[in-house]
């Protein structure tokens, strides 16, 4: 089942009856998670999304192994990186964003975290040696 962010993302604001309805959907998608305050992210990239107007269910396969069709569409999308970073920032737990499934995004986040921790340790060690 697509989240509100996914529905907005794929179907676009035109799907909604009014600007107010579209805004309500967006605000729901962007509500603070875990008490974190967030500023409104740049969403202009969505206007160039290759998935615009497609059935959101393509991007919500029943199983991650069935994400091939979505990944093919994403592979040729001009805003793939922005889409992926948006999903990571929002901690989107479902669906294919930026060509990655939810499990793949979780692995990417863990890899990035490990890299950042290693860089911090190296920086600390460098400072300690001076």
Provide the binding-site residues for ligand SF4, judged by CB under 6 A: 49-51, 59, 73-74, 77, 79-80, 83, 96-99
Chain-centre distance for alpha carbon 71 = 14
CB of 54 to ligand SF4, least distance (A): 8
At 21, give phi and psi (nearest 5°): -65, -45
CB of 111 to ligand SF4, least distance (A): 19
Q: Kindly give, in sequence order, each residue whose CB lies less than 8 Å from that of residue 118, ignoring residues fewer than 6 positions away.
A: none
**Cβ nearer to ligand SF4, comparing 75 with 116:** 75
Residue 90, both tokens: 């929002």
CB of 26 to ligand SF4, least distance (A): 16
CB of 13 to ligand SF4, least distance (A): 15
**Cβ nearer to ligand SF4, comparing 8 with 97:** 97
**Cβ nearer to ligand SF4, comparing 77 with 114:** 77
**Cβ nearer to ligand SF4, comparing 78 with 107:** 78
| Measured CA angle at 77 (ends 73, 82), to 5 deg | 125
Rounded CA separation 108/102 (Å): 10
Residue 55, both tokens: 């059935």
Rounded CA separation 67/99 (Å): 9
């Amino acid at each position: 089942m697509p989240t509100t962010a996914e529905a907005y993302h794929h179907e676009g604001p035109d799907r909604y009856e009014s600007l107010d309805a579209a805004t309500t959907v967006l605000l729901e998608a962007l509500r603070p998670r875990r008490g974190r305050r967030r500023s409104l992210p740049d969403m202009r990239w969505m206007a160039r999304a290759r998935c615009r107007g497609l059935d959101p269910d393509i991007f919500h396969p029943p199983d991650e192994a069935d994400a091939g069709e979505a990944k093919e569409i994403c592979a040729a999308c001009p805003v793939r990186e922005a889409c992926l970073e948006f999903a990571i920032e929002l901690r989107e737990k479902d669906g294919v964003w930026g060509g990655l499934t939810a499990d793949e995004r979780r692995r990417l986040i863990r890899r990035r975290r490990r890299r950042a921790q290693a860089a911090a340790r190296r920086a600390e060690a460098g400072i300690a040696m001076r």
